[in-house]
Amino acid sequence: MLKILIRKQMMEIFRAYFYNAKKNTGRTKVSTVLMFLGYGAVMLFLAAGLFGVMSVNLVAMARAGYAWFYFALIGLVAVLLGCFGAVFTTYSGLYLAKDNDLLLSMPISVHAIMASRLVSVYLMGLLYSAVGSLPAVVVYFIYMPFSVLALLCAILWAILISLIVLFLSCLLGYGVARLSLKLKRKSLATTVLALVGIGLYYFVYFKAIDLVQDIVENVVLYGEKIKGSAYGVYLFGQAAVEWKALAIVYAVVLALCAATWFLVQRSFLKVATSTGATVRTKYTERTARVRSASAALLRRELGRFTSSSNYMLNCGLGILLMVLAGVMLLLKGQALAAVLTAVFAEQPGVVAVLACAVACMAVASNDMAAPSVALEGKNLWIAKSLPVSGWQVLRAKLTMQLVLTVVPTLFLCVCLAVTLPLTAPELALLFLLPLIFMVFSACLGSVLGLQNPNLHWTNEVYPIKQGLAVTVSLLGGWAYSAALAGIYLWIGRKLGSVIYLGIFSAATLIAAALLYLWLRKRGPAVFEAL
């Protein structure tokens, strides 16, 4: 039974890889393999790019004889990353799946349902934690002596991390579920809670950068202190290089996993079938404000966005990032400006390009248009049966992203403009390029979201978090920002920042116009054929 449930779960998660919703047929093997390779390449890029560099910076600790410290540090980061990525997936995947009622009505044990759901949670945690732990293992063996047994030990340590992520995610997901049963404004409360968590995460992250630097410079001092006072952390790191430590930590983690399973399974049925507290509002009649059809459609999109904490947190994080970055710039911008001016004194224009790249990267973190078609799900019949054109529906989705992104983008650009020493043409481009990119990003998300949307999800997390459109839109936007800065540092400097940013703006504008035209001309037909 468990095998059948896991297969169903996997079919749902990887549906887009095997099934072409546009053509209503299964994909060819080549197409499926190419899609998996593409996704793998993206994850590899992330792993190698971000955590590979981090591991290279930290491997000096291992070379100084403190391999455990190296693995402990990266392991903790990987655990944090894994939990950060999986906690809300755990809550919604475990307790809010739409087919919970169906499965519970069948002769299937609750344990089997829970276990199949946890496989998804585990895979998600494994994916996120492996992005941090695997580069650490690879980098370690580049600089340190290699043996098959040592490699096996390190790989088992990486798996151990995914198990730690699993039980922590389950505990946190369980906590969120218990809390949500008591809360009346669930979406708002979950979002606020998550934002506090994200705030803490970034606070720790920024503090950690200084701390890690300090640790690397004083590895012996800190190493001995931690070994003496926090033996668990030592064991956790040592588990990557010593079998005995690995066995001890595995035993502890497996015991914790079993305890978590016991805790979650005791209340699963109650939480999964409970509707929780709701605010009972008796309707009082009042004259409604009459809106145009387009305004009603836009309001519908905004309503869907603000009603789902998953949607807001995963696709609207850019709003928060831009506001926070702007405030940080206003508070500490002068120091940053001084550092940037000193570092790039010989390279005029870099600061302007970097500012544009940062703004574009923050803009790219807003991708609410990408999953919006898929989120129509079973409600698609409403939009299609109403007297509105496909274009009106798509325009509302596009507009929603623009409306939600434009003010934070302008705020960030104003903060960057106030803080950084830029010339007048650079200032103009600092506003122009991110705004053009904002339109491009919204059009790209809409176009991607219209291609093969998963309309048959049983949990909104699938289109929001794991949809191909969202992944490509988000990572594509980040790649654009990286390319904007990278190409300038590589060859773009010869043109000067103003011409370079002007060319990028023009190219982005043309790309945005092409995407917009496609949406306008072909989009409605594609939407109506869904």
Partner 1 sequence: MLYIEHLTKKFGDKVAVDDLSLHIAAGEVYGFIGHNGAGKTTTLRSVVGIQQFDAGSVRIDGIPLAENPIECKRRIAYIPDNPDLYEFMTGIKYLNFVADVFGVGADARQERIRRYAALFELTDDLGQPISTYSHGMKQKLAVISAWLHQPRLILMDEPFVGLDPKASHILKEMMREFCDGGGAIFFSTHVLEVAEKLCDKVAIIRRGRLIRSGTMEEVKGDDSLEEVFLELEDED
Site residues for partner 1 per CB under 8 A: 24, 275, 278, 280-285, 287-293, 295-297, 299-300, 303-304, 307-308, 377-379, 381-382, 384-389, 528-529
Q: How many CB atoms lie within 10 A of CB 213?
A: 11
Nearer to partner 1, 88 or 157 (CB): 88
Residue number with CB closer to partner 1 (123 or 302): 302
Smallest separation (angstroms) from partner 1 to the CB of 305: 9
Q: Rounded distance, CA 402 to CA 441, Å? A: 9
Which is nearer to partner 1, 15 or 300 (by Cβ)? 300
- Angle between helices 186-217 and 148-182 in degrees, nearest 10: 150
Pick 282 or 494: Cβ nearer partner 1: 282
To which residue do tokens 């996704």 refer?
39
- Nearest distance in Å: CB 303, partner 1: 6
Indicate the residue among 329 and 397 with the shorter CB distance to partner 1: 397
Smallest distance, partner 1 to C-beta of residue 315, A: 15
Q: How far is CA 525 from CA 373, 384, 468, in A?
A: 14, 12, 21
Give the shortest CB-456-to-partner 1 separation in angstroms: 12
How far is it, in rounded angstroms, from Cα 153 to Cα 449? 42
Which residues have C-beta within 8 Å of that of residue 375, sequence separation ≥ 6? 304, 311, 460, 463, 464
Q: How far is the CB of 257 from partner 1 (least distance, A)?
A: 33
Question: Which residues, at least 6 apart from 245, have a Cβ–Cβ distance to it below 8 Å?
Answer: 68, 235, 238, 239
Q: Cα–Cα distance between 449 and 463 in angstroms, integer?
A: 9
Nearer to partner 1, 162 or 458 (CB): 458
Residue 387 CB, nearest approach to partner 1 (Å): 4
Minimum CB separation of residue 377 from partner 1 in Å reads: 8
* Least spacing, CB of residue 281 vs partner 1, in Å: 4
| Secondary structure, 3-state, 75-107 | HHHHHHHHHHHHHHHHHHHHHCCCCHHHHHHCC
Residue 390 CA: distances (Å) to CA of 270, 302, 439: 42, 18, 19
Q: 388 vs 402, which CB is nearer to partner 1?
A: 388
Beta carbon of residue 298, minimum distance to partner 1 (angstroms, whole number): 11
| CB-based contacts of 372, cutoff 8 Å, min separation 6 | 301, 304, 397, 400, 446, 449
Q: Between vectors from CA 109 to CA 12 and to CA 97, what angle results, nearest 5°?
A: 35
108 three-state secondary structure? coil
Least distance in angstroms from the C-beta of 185 to partner 1: 11
Q: Which is nearer to partner 1, 212 or 455 (CB)?
A: 455
CB distance 298 to 399 below 8 Å: yes
Q: Which is nearer to partner 1, 3 or 289 (CB)?
A: 289
In sequence order, the β-bridge partners of residue 26 are 19
What does the H/E/C string look like for 118-137?
A: HHHHHHHHHHHHHHHHHHHH
- Could you give the residue ranges of the DSSP H alpha helices within 287-366? 293-307, 309-315, 317-343, 350-364
Other beta carbons less than 10 A from residue 168's beta carbon: 20
Q: 3-state DSSP call for residue 173? A: helix
Nearer to partner 1, 63 or 184 (CB): 184
Q: Rounded distance, CA 81 to CA 130, Å?
A: 9
In angstroms, what is the minimal distance from the CB of 517 to partner 1? 22
Rounded Cα gap, residues 274 and 99, in angstroms: 14
In angstroms, give the least distance from the CB of 526 to partner 1.
Answer: 12
Nearer to partner 1 among residue 376 and residue 426 (C-beta) = 376
Residue closer to partner 1 (CB basis): 214 or 528: 528
